[in-house]
Structure 1
Amino acid sequence: MNRFSHIDLRVNAWEQVCEFYEGLLPELGFVNTYHSRDWYVFAAEGELPSVPYFAITVDANHKPNSNLIGFWAVDRAEVDRIAETVKRLGGTITTGPGLLPISPTYYAVYFEDPCGNKYEMMHRLN
């Protein structure tokens, strides 16, 4: 059983990250939107609340930290594609894409959104 439900993410300003998340999250499978006055919600296919979702809210005092959100890629080509998407949308690549010394087949890209929130897109065989 996959126990993942959702992510509640803070950003400094929606205007600062709007283009980034509206471009990136559908690429990661969060294709349905349920935005309200206080939350910008991107959900997987299906009906809430039974599908994973990514919810973003504004906190002007938000300070990014060392927390990291990781996503599986189906193959190395998807890691590369997401890295290009991140760059095109104004994110920052911090490492990769490439093989990393975590395991012989660990291929990943680490990146940040325009507010400094940290992510990883990775693929590995073992």
Structure 2
Amino acid sequence: MALRFRKSIKIAPGVRINLSKSGVSTSLGVKGATVNLSKRGTRVTTGIPGTGISTSKLYRAKPNQSAPRGPRQYSTTEWVTAWIIGEILAIVGWLKLEGGVGIFCLVVALLIPVSLFLYYRPKRSDW
């Protein structure tokens, strides 16, 4: 008989820390759309709440046998998904939380698109 252990701790609306025998992971999202970050990779799960219909995709880091060549290049779909989830979480936090935490969520909601723009803008090689 196998022994299983799993504990999920809610940190903020839409943010959970998951503890299990195999390690720690973080889940971000709302009903119908969740992103889970763990040592195995990033799992994106979407579904229709209340129907039992869902889909899940695991994005694993490919092992690199050659010399390191820099940071991984994310697809447009991956960073747009991350941006949308980040914005939803930040705006929900701003609307639902009070005081300094709500203001912090508002600042995060404003910084997410700026930071993504700065990171993904075309790099100029003629400088």
- TM-score normalised to structure 2 length: 0.27
Higher relative contact order (CA 8 A, sep 6+): 1
- TM-score normalised to structure 1 length: 0.27
The structure with the greater share of residues assigned to helix is 2
**Higher Cα Rg, which structure:** 2
